[in-house]
Amino acid sequence: METSPGRGCSITMEILKHLESSLESDSHTQVLQGLRLLALTLPELEAPLRGSVIRRVLGPLEGLVREGRRAVALMDVLLATYRSGPCDSRLVSLMASMLNSQNPSDAALCAAATLHPETCPPGLRQKVVAVLLGPLQMVTGVTLLDWTNDRHTDQQTDHRHTDRQTDHRHTDQQTDHRHTDRQTDHRHTDQQTDHRHTDQPADHRHTDQPTDHRHTDQQTDNRHTDRDHRQTDHRQTDEDHKQTDEDHRQTDEDHRQTDTDQDRQTEGRSSLSLLLDHLNHKPSCISLLCVSVSSAPYVTDMDSSASVILAVVSLLRICNGHSPSPESKAAIGCSKASTNLIGCSKVQRCCLDSLASLSTCPGAVERVVEVFHVLVQNLQNPDSDPTVLQKNYQAMLRWLSVSAEPNSLADLVTEDLLPVLKKRVCDVRWEVRDSTLEFLGQLCEALSCTVTPILLEALCDQESYVRASAISALARTLPLSDQQGEPGNQTQEQTLGQLLDILSQDSEGFPRRAVVQFFISWLKTHPSSSSSSSLCSVLSLGSTDLDWEVKVHTLELVELLMEETLPGHQESELGSAPPPYGGSGGTNLLTHTDLTHPYAVTPSQPSPLLTHTPTELTHPYAVTPSQPSPLTHTHPTDTHTHPTHTPLTHTPPTHTHPTTSVVCGLSRLVELGVVTALLNGLFDCDRPVALKACSLLLRLRDAVCPSRSLGKGAMTTDDTTVATVTFDLRGQVWEREVTRKLQEKRGSDWVKESREVGCDRPNKNRDSDRTDGAGSEACDRSTGKSVCEGSARVCEVLWSLGLEERQSVLSQSSDHVQNSPLSLLEDILNATDTSHTDEVIVDCY
């Protein structure tokens, strides 16, 4: 379509006209639509157009503000306008009149919206703070606003009897204030219009509608003189006002000041009674306080933070059913507001959020104990809503860190907190149990204490989320119990056993994920005391789990193990931990989980390994078939016969030859089942798992396997040793795949070489039908026996898998096909083909 500039302009004008008429429409719906449109488009507009839009809509907007409805939508527009660029004073004064809304809830919502520094016009900040903190102060009786310095709000504290003394409406004098204090005292200005709606200049900014004022007047009992006056002879009154207006313009400064005070008192009383009305009405009381409390942390400054905290604490006490302080009773004149709040979880949630944010305030330290007390009180209440308790815990953690001396709260924790937490762990609601366990873990970590028995009990919870949280909490606290030298060895064994049971038997993914993560953090905190038998079980169970995240976490564990075992080729001179030979984890697992571990690696000459040079050890490792060899059984540290999960301690690192350490490291990894776990991951159908496994395998290959390990001549004897490390692949899902890959990669020279480095260990499963297996070819054929059937050399496998290629494939996301242009073209072509088919498939689950 061709569009000339003139045409575009006229279209814009049409749109503007429509927008304007929408805002002036009688239909609530249309007005709302107009406001939404404005709020969305104004920030997008460029300078000249923006100006003209604002000019067009300001009038209708003023009308809407006067109407006093749709406060939230209106404020959206005003803020959008204010944020989008420079604006005239009319806009700011419109925002000011929104803050002076007759409805305190609306005013508070507007104030909360205006709160942020970039959106709050500087002149309005003080007013915003007063509107927001007013309700909180009224209900709790805690002085939040420094009313000695704040001229606007000092009337709010005035009690009614003082107001009565000034119950005369000197409307005439207000004119003066309007002209003098227009910017600073908006509420005041509003008040004038209250009485002078007929004789205001047409362009007056604050033109509140008369009906509203009548409501205001009528709310205050002691104003009937004024009302009667108006009812009987309205016109006359207005004329009088005009006259007195004229007179008072002449009056001196002192007189004016007195009147200002009087007027403020009247105004203060009026807003006070409005606020009271609101606080007495339950729904509006709750919403008003929620806004007030949620905004409190953002309006708090250095001086007021302590009192704001106190106010929030008092409010929480009121919610718990404690009567408000006597001063607040005096302030609000009745206790209805406080009865409205008993057990109100909405307000409690806001208070706790607010309290958590306030913990960073400068005045927080002096209030720690009070805050802590009220938080414990919340926990003691059996009816507390789960979300409230969750927030309570969050706030508690924040406040625990505030305390300058954590020990100062120690008594509180042990005497008050822990007993109630024990109760909450047994709550009927799983949400509460879960939050409590999460909190217990964090609490113990923060205070270095342990609650292991409670957590162990929770491992049997019927809700999977709770079991998972208990495991996570254990992960946080178990290292502590270790440090504190508790007689924990037995407990630890028991715990590890329980955790492995969960990993193998739990039907839900969350606890299983948590178990693997437990071992990750365990390995991080106890690098030297990890139990290889447990780790073996975790790796074999975790890498074949049904849940993809369990598998990913298992690979994270693998990564950690690799880092620990293979500190890197260069650094390996320092020596890496030699493998703990006897701990054939697979068999341990067998006894524990009744699952057959697919492999077991044993050194042919275990003890000399560390002292002998690799050249002397042509075959340092041999693959033990699933039936353990006699050697394995005779090893002193062998745990085959002991189905316990004794945490093994690594032998302290000894200075060994680098290659030896690499060989040892790789052997240790094989022994732990790392290679099998990685291959399980690589062939997994979940892409993130396969990708992670692939990158880990690449790292392993680059760190361990000499790049020319299969080449002729280039291989050193060290490399040869590394290349001889084998692992068992029998019974694995990917056995065929790996074997095929190996066959592809093998050359005739490799066969020759394999005769030299092949396994020397007799294999009892020689008559197996897997004659195409990699191991069989790797074995010594000169003897005519397939001595290491079912096993393959790690490096050879790693080189044969085409890992780089796999990685590039795997790093493509699962939706790469549907995102490709080719796929799109296909879809388009198909759409044209199928457009004339009879039925369009409609299905929404």
Partner 1 sequence: MAREVRCKTVEEPSLVALAKTHAATPSFKNKTASGSHLSNVHLCISSSCFLSGAGQDVGRSCILVSIGGKNIMLDCGMHMGFNDDRRFPDFSYITQQGRLTEFLDCVIISHFHLDHCGALPYMSEMVGYDGPIYMTHPTKAICPILLEDFRKITVDKKGETNFFTSQMIKDCMKKVVPLNLHQTVQVDDELEIKAYYAGHVLGAAMVQIKVGSESVVYTGDYNMTPDRHLGAAWIDKCRPDILISESTYATTIRDSKRCRERDFLKKVHETVERGGKVLIPVFALGRAQELCILLETFWERMNMKAPIYFSTGLTEKANHYYKLFITWTNQKIRKTFVQRNMFEFKHIKAFDRSYADNPGPMVVFATPGMLHAGQSLQIFKKWAGNEKNMIIMPGYCVQGTIGHKILNGQKKLEMENRQTVIEIERCEPGCCHLSLEVKLQVEYMSFSAHADAKGIMQLIRMAEPRNMLLVHGEAKKMEFLKDKIEQEFTINCFMPANGETTTVITNPSVPVDISLNLLKREMALGGPLPDPKKPRTMHGTLIMKDNSLRLVSPEQALKELGLNEHQLRFTCRVQLQDPHSDPDTLSRIYTHLKSVLKGYTIQHLPDGTVMVESIVIKVSSSAEEPNTKVLLLSWSYQDEDLGSFLSTLLKKGLPSGLSSM
Residue list 271-300, contact with partner 1 (CB under 8 A): 277, 280-283, 287, 290-291, 294
| Beta carbons of 637 and 580 less than 8 angstroms apart | yes
Among 198, 218, 243, 258, binds partner 1 (CB under 8 A): 218
Instruction: Name the DSSP letter for residue 324.
Output: P
Nearer Cβ to partner 1, position 125 or 170? 125
In the block, residue with structure tokens 């109407």: 67
Enumerate residues 163-202 that contact partner 1 by CB under 8 A.
Answer: none
Please give the C-alpha separations between residue 64 and each of 59, 74, 312, 755, in angstroms, as whole numbers: 9, 8, 35, 93
Shortest Å distance, C-beta 177 to partner 1? 26
| Beta carbons of 741 and 802 less than 8 angstroms apart | yes
> Does the footprint of partner 1 cover residue 112 (CB under 8 A)?
yes
Among 13, 72, 330, 426, binds partner 1 (CB under 8 A): 72
How far is it, in rounded angstroms, from Cα 779 to Cα 328? 90
Enumerate residues 493-532 that contact partner 1 by CB under 8 A.
Answer: 507-510, 513
Torsion of CA 9, 10, 16, 20, to 10 degrees: 150
Neighbours of 613 (CB within 10 A): 12
Enumerate residues 583-622 that contact partner 1 by CB under 8 A.
Answer: none
Please give the C-alpha separations between residue 497 and each of 464, 466, 523, 614, 836, in angstroms, as whole numbers: 18, 19, 16, 38, 64
Nearer Cβ to partner 1, position 157 or 387? 387
From the list 176-184, 543-551, 619-627, 644-652, the region that binds partner 1 by CB under 8 A is: 543-551
Among 269, 391, 645, 668, binds partner 1 (CB under 8 A): 391
How far is it, in rounded angstroms, from Cα 83 to Cα 43? 7
Shortest Å distance, C-beta 429 to partner 1? 9
Nearer Cβ to partner 1, position 503 or 810? 810
Nearer Cβ to partner 1, position 707 or 830? 830
> Does the footprint of partner 1 cover residue 228 (CB under 8 A)?
yes
How far is it, in rounded angstroms, from Cα 275 to Cα 105? 9
Enumerate residues 782-811 that contact partner 1 by CB under 8 A.
Answer: 805-806, 809-810
Neighbours of 242 (CB within 10 A): 15
Neighbours of 381 (CB within 10 A): 17
CA angle 243, 100, 59 (to 5 degrees): 80
Among 1, 202, 404, 546, binds partner 1 (CB under 8 A): 546
Shortest Å distance, C-beta 357 to partner 1? 13
Enumerate residues 90-109 that contact partner 1 by CB under 8 A.
Answer: 103, 109
Nearer Cβ to partner 1, position 70 or 373? 70
Please give the C-alpha separations between residue 160 and each of 260, 273, 508, 605, 845, in angstroms, as whole numbers: 18, 9, 64, 97, 64
Shortest Å distance, C-beta 105 to partner 1? 10
Enumerate residues 814-833 that contact partner 1 by CB under 8 A.
Answer: 814-824, 826-828, 830-831, 833
| Beta carbons of 151 and 320 less than 8 angstroms apart | no
Nearer Cβ to partner 1, position 798 or 810? 810
Among 10, 27, 258, 323, binds partner 1 (CB under 8 A): 27
| Beta carbons of 396 and 446 less than 8 angstroms apart | no
Shortest Å distance, C-beta 645 to partner 1? 26
Residue 677: closest CA among 497, 538, 802: 538
How far is it, in rounded angstroms, from Cα 412 to Cα 239? 70
> Does the footprint of partner 1 cover residue 434 (CB under 8 A)?
yes
> Does the footprint of partner 1 cover residue 841 (CB under 8 A)?
yes
Among 38, 61, 80, 471, binds partner 1 (CB under 8 A): 80
CA 637 to chain centre: 46
Enumerate residues 458-477 that contact partner 1 by CB under 8 A.
Answer: 465
Phi then psi dihedrals of residue 625, to 5 deg: -65, 175
Among 90, 125, 182, 346, binds partner 1 (CB under 8 A): 346
The contact pattern for partner 1, residues 554-583, with x = CB under 8 A and - = no contact, is ------------------------------
| Beta carbons of 722 and 811 less than 8 angstroms apart | no
Q: Which residues pair with 793 in a beta bridge?
A: 726
Enumerate residues 355-384 that contact partner 1 by CB under 8 A.
Answer: none
Element (H, E) at 727: strand 726-728
Nearer Cβ to partner 1, position 103 or 403? 103
Shortest Å distance, C-beta 828 to partner 1? 6
Residue-wise burial string across 487-500, b where 16 or more C-beta atoms lie within 10 A, e elsewhere: ebeebbbebbbbbb
> Does the footprint of partner 1 cover residue 411 (CB under 8 A)?
no
Shortest Å distance, C-beta 17 to partner 1? 19
Shortest Å distance, C-beta 518 to partner 1? 15
| Beta carbons of 472 and 491 less than 8 angstroms apart | no
Nearer Cβ to partner 1, position 190 or 671? 190
3-state secondary structure of 258: helix
> Does the footprint of partner 1 cover residue 431 (CB under 8 A)?
yes
Shortest Å distance, C-beta 38 to partner 1? 11
Torsion of CA 86, 88, 91, 94, to 10 degrees: 150
From the list 182-190, 315-323, 397-405, 427-435, the region that binds partner 1 by CB under 8 A is: 427-435
Among 446, 493, 548, 760, binds partner 1 (CB under 8 A): 548
3-state secondary structure of 475: helix
Shortest Å distance, C-beta 820 to partner 1? 6
